[in-house]
Structure 1
Amino acid sequence: MAEPRAFLSFDYDNNLSSRNLFAGQAKSDSPTPFIVEDWSSKSVLPESEWEALISKKIANCHMLIVLVGKSMGSAYGVAAEIAMAKDKNVPIFGVYVDGAGTASTLPSGLARNRVIGWNWTNIAAAIQQMMGEGKNA
């Protein structure tokens, strides 16, 4: 099987730098065998076009990784991406970023017991778990 493809869901307004750092580390520093590609929309699109585009991209991934920051409760797009992943039977887990933790608000659809700290050993274990869940089972 090819390396797992992960769609990164994040709050663009508040966690873009963490997304860039996470994706960069995933490519070079981590012991985690997965591919992170920039699947985000490159321009502002009408909502229906954005939904169709992102839904198709999520369907082509093995998992959705939500980068959970402190302002996650207000990130509409993240909640929409989680719903799309659930609709496509794509397994989901989250990683706390930017000082977020167990007291931080989670986006709708993401269970607290599916969110972990930013530790590459634990992320690798979560990825391995995702590869046996949902559409990957």
Structure 2
Amino acid sequence: MANPRAFISFDFDHDETSRMLFVGQAKNSKTPFAIQDWSSKSALAEAEWEKVISAKIGKCNMVIVLVGKTMASASGVAKELAMAKLQDVPAFGVYVDGASTSSNLPAGLPRNRTIAWKWDDVAAAITQMMGEGKNKV
């Protein structure tokens, strides 16, 4: 697989540390892929945020949602998933920061597309995403 581009969607107010750990571990893991993190690293004004984020998502092969315990309050994540859907960019979620199958999911992210943070499972999900949506060959 040739270094898929992933937009990392996360609760900016609560899961920044999980984002840094996930991206850092992805770079250093022995899994057969590389993730390029195209997520926003700073807060932006709403109109600018929507324009910038939509463009970034459109340039990615997939969206990976880091699902933390406070995901219900992260309205931006639901907007990012809606942007991905409009652009035919496939998405999946990864539970972080103690979240589990009983945690709230953002609108647009099905429970059956949300997995535990195990690198073999993440690698399998990335492989699956590369055959879906705009990535279909």
Cα distance per residue 1:94-133 (max 9 Å; x no partner): 0000110010000011000000000000000000000000
Runs of 4+ in 1 over 4 A off after TM superposition: none
Q: What is the CA distance between 1:36 and its match in structure 2?
A: 2.4
Task: Show the counterpart of 1:31.
Answer: 31
Which SS does the other structure have where 1:12 is aligned?
coil
Q: CA RMSD in A?
A: 1.3
Contact 2:65/2:91 (<8 A) preserved: yes
1:61-76 aligned within 5 A: 61-76=60-75
Cα distance per residue 1:62-116 (max 9 Å; x no partner): 0000000010011011111011000100000000001100100000110000000
Between the two proteins, what is the percent identity of the paired residues?
60
Which SS does the other structure have where 1:132 is aligned?
coil
Task: Show the counterpart of 1:9.
Answer: 9
Contact 1:32/1:123 (<8 A) preserved: no
TM-score by length of 1: 0.94
Cα distance per residue 1:7-29 (max 9 Å; x no partner): 00000111111110000000012
Cα distance per residue 1:27-83 (max 9 Å; x no partner): 0124140222243053x4321111010000000000000000010011011111011
Task: Show the counterpart of 2:90.
Answer: 91
Q: 1:28 to 1:125 in 2, by over 3 A?
A: same
Task: Show the counterpart of 1:125.
Answer: 124
Contact 1:32/1:120 (<8 A) preserved: no
Unpaired runs of at least 5, structure 1: none
TM-score by length of 2: 0.94
Unpaired runs of at least 5, structure 2: none
- Count of residue pairs brought into register by the alignment: 136
